[in-house]
Chain A
Amino acid sequence: MLRIRDASVTFPASDGQDVHALDHVSLDIAPDSIVVAVGASGCGKSTLLNAIAGFLPLTEGTITLDGKEIVAPGGDRGVVFQKDTLLPWANVLDNVALGLKYRGVRRSERHERSRRLLELVGLADFAEKPPYELSGGMRQRVGIARALATDPKILLMDEPFGALDSLTRETMQQLLASVWAKTGKQILFITHSIEEALTLGTTIVVMSPRPGRIVGPVRGRFRPRVCQERRHRADPVQPALH
């Protein structure tokens, strides 16, 4: 359970008027849910994600993950960025295995686990390729596999499909839904597209800018397309993955 309590982030501005990027935001993200934060640019949704990831210190308030306060980035929170951040000098497999390498997992084991994740995102045949030979959508799929590799408790996704064309984006949304169905990870998904929010979210949070706030109605149990899909499948959380 991710618990955000009265989280504020204030940036000092040159003209003395501080920017309240995030203003006393409280939010819980339950396990097994996809929370989508939607809002116009400047509403603090990326700030919120960066604070949860540990890239940005809070000015006020606390964020805890399973009771542990977040102070720095760490492998228990997987991040998928808008711009893909794959390493061009490593092939796809080694990119996915990066987090496992940092943990000192043996080469054969981390490759085996990474191959399974590549299968999950449908890129098993591209393991040996350098990332720059992949399309934008494929690179984001590698990014998702990489974020999942360390078996994080939560997946943080910052407009991951924002730069993709609409057809690829739809495919990616379906892929994410099936990944979620198979792994049961809690996901915080940032987008500016209301349509995307309605497609993906089990909970939708609307944010407003200046100061960055969550505006009501905050939470509600939505039953969007992918959730119905998930219910029909009724997959048990797949134990084979980790």
Chain B
Amino acid sequence: MTLAANSPTSFSPSTTQRRPSLRPRRSASTGTLGISLVTLAALIALWFIAARFGWASPLFLPSPAEVLTQFSAVWADGYANGTLLDHTLASLGRIAAALGVGIFLGIPLGLLMGLNRWVKGIFSVPIDLYWGLPPLAYLPLLIIWLGIGETSKIVLLSLSTFAPICFAAQAGVRSVPAERINAALSLGASRLQLFTSIILPSALPEIMTGLKIAIGAGLSTLVAAELIAAQSGLGYMIMSAANFLATDVVFVGLIVIAILAFAFTSGMRWLEHRLIPWKGKL
């Protein structure tokens, strides 16, 4: 992205510069899009061929056609106490709740930790301590404390999304160039104005990065938690299917998770383009 500023279009006359910052980046993304699509097609073709020529037993590697049939069956009739949509919504609901908690607690606390050494001193120890633990290690404890219902899972997920967002907001405040702050002060900014007009927007790129990490951490914790203790969700569906060696249903679950992860990543990328087109510039 830093290269984009140096690309030839940046030097063209101002009349053609309506959206110069977007153009180089866009051409770069269409440049790899074709290659990526071909790779995807090749992988699917390989899957077809492998299944067609029986390179692996259908028990281990179901054919694409089988998975597709199973997909519509799970979609219409359901599997393990719910349709595919039910499971997907259950998982999405959990991750949405966890992200909400992570954002609404993590951003303010992280900003405060970046601004105030007392807040940082008090909160960094407990956060550092639990963030080092694998979430699944303390899931049993959460279940003992909070029961097997939704609460324990949402708390677990919230813990895994909270820390990266909080750290990112804190790093964002720390990353504000001192000269930018001095410039604002010499223009007569009050403390509140300094925060809203300089510190918050300066921290936004870091916060977005933290959000991306939080989504990744949340998604992997989510599925793992559902594998262990849940009555619904994509992880639960996969685990139930695996118990009956229904590999095709496992594939259906994996594909849906892959699509969700891809959607999250694309959504975040879109949001970054919208909110911080200036990221990495200046």
With A81-B179, A87-B201, A102-B190 known to touch, is A55 a contact of B185 (CB < 8 Å)?
A: yes
CB-CB under 8 A from B10, the residues of chain A are: 133
- Nearest chain A CB to B185 CB, angstrom units: 4
A98 to B187, CA, bound (A): 7
Q: Is the CB of B278 within 8 A of A130?
A: yes
Query: Which A-chain residue is minimally distant from B14 (CB atoms)?
Result: A125
Q: Is the CB of A87 within 8 A of B14?
A: no
Q: Is the CB of A73 within 8 A of B186?
A: yes
A126 to B17, CA, bound (A): 11
Q: Mark A91-129, 1 if CB is under 8 A from B, else 0.
A: 000000011011100000000000000000000011001
A87 to B193, CA, bound (A): 14
Q: Is the CB of B187 within 8 A of A150?
A: yes
User: Is A184 part of the binding interface, using a Cβ–Cβ cutoff of 8 Å?
Assistant: no
Q: Mark B2-18, 1 if CB is under 8 A from A, else 0.
A: 00010000100010010
Q: Is the CB of A103 within 8 A of B188?
A: yes
- Nearest chain A CB to B191 CB, angstrom units: 11
User: Is A132 part of the binding interface, using a Cβ–Cβ cutoff of 8 Å?
Assistant: yes
Set A55, A78, A87, A99: member contacting B182, Cβ < 8 A: A55
Q: Is the CB of A85 within 8 A of B188?
A: no
- Nearest chain B CB to A152 CB, angstrom units: 9
User: Is B247 part of the binding interface, using a Cβ–Cβ cutoff of 8 Å?
Assistant: no
Q: Is the CB of A132 within 8 A of B5?
A: yes
Q: Is the CB of B187 within 8 A of A75?
A: yes
CB-CB under 8 A from A54, the residues of chain B are: 185-186
User: Is B100 part of the binding interface, using a Cβ–Cβ cutoff of 8 Å?
Assistant: no
User: 8 Å CB contacts to A: which residues of B231-245?
Assistant: none
Q: Is the CB of B182 within 8 A of A102?
A: no
User: 8 Å CB contacts to A: which residues of B243-282?
Assistant: 276-278, 281-282
Q: Is the CB of B278 within 8 A of A74?
A: no
Set B5, B14, B201: member contacting A89, Cβ < 8 A: B201
Number of interface residues of B (CB under 8 A): 27
A208 to B14, CA, bound (A): 45
Q: Is the CB of A88 within 8 A of B281?
A: yes
CB-CB under 8 A from B185, the residues of chain A are: 54-55, 72-74
A63 to B185, CA, bound (A): 18
Q: Is the CB of A102 within 8 A of B193?
A: yes
A103 to B188, CA, bound (A): 7
A230 to B14, CA, bound (A): 33
User: 8 Å CB contacts to B: which residues of A175-209?
Assistant: none
Q: Is the CB of A146 within 8 A of B282?
A: no
A36 to B10, CA, bound (A): 35
A99 to B190, CA, bound (A): 11
User: Is B224 part of the binding interface, using a Cβ–Cβ cutoff of 8 Å?
Assistant: no
Set A102, A129, A130: member contacting B189, Cβ < 8 A: A102
User: 8 Å CB contacts to B: which residues of A67-85?
Assistant: 72-75, 77-79, 81, 83-85
User: Is A43 part of the binding interface, using a Cβ–Cβ cutoff of 8 Å?
Assistant: no
User: Is A86 part of the binding interface, using a Cβ–Cβ cutoff of 8 Å?
Assistant: yes
A102 to B191, CA, bound (A): 11
User: Is B197 part of the binding interface, using a Cβ–Cβ cutoff of 8 Å?
Assistant: yes
With A130-B21, A132-B281 known to touch, is A73 a contact of B182 (CB < 8 Å)?
A: yes
Looking at B5, B177, B183, B278, which has the most chain A CB atoms within 10 Å of its CB? Answer: B183
Q: Is the CB of A146 within 8 A of B179?
A: no
A205 to B14, CA, bound (A): 41
With A79-B183, A85-B179, A102-B188 known to touch, is A133 a contact of B282 (CB < 8 Å)?
A: no
Q: Is the CB of A102 within 8 A of B198?
A: no
Q: Is the CB of A86 within 8 A of B21?
A: no
With A85-B180, A88-B281, A89-B276 known to touch, is A132 a contact of B21 (CB < 8 Å)?
A: yes
- Nearest chain A CB to B132 CB, angstrom units: 32
Query: Which B-chain residue is minimally distant from A158 (CB atoms)?
Result: B179
Q: Is the CB of B282 within 8 A of A88?
A: yes
Q: Is the CB of B186 within 8 A of A78?
A: yes
- Nearest chain A CB to B9 CB, angstrom units: 11
CB-CB under 8 A from A86, the residues of chain B are: 282
Query: Which A-chain residue is minimally distant from B180 (CB atoms)?
Result: A85
- Nearest chain B CB to A59 CB, angstrom units: 19
- Sample 19 A-B pairs with CB under 8 A, ordered by A number: A53-B182, A55-B185, A74-B186, A75-B188, A78-B187, A79-B182, A81-B179, A81-B182, A81-B183, A83-B179, A85-B180, A87-B180, A88-B278, A88-B282, A98-B184, A125-B14, A131-B282, A132-B5, A133-B21
Counting from the closest, the 10 A-B pairs by CB-CB distance are: A75-B188, A99-B187, A88-B278, A132-B281, A73-B185, A85-B183, A79-B186, A88-B282, A73-B186, A102-B188
Additional 11 contacts, C-beta under 8 A, given A75-B188, A85-B183, A125-B14: A55-B185, A81-B179, A83-B177, A88-B281, A88-B282, A89-B276, A98-B187, A101-B197, A126-B14, A132-B278, A132-B281
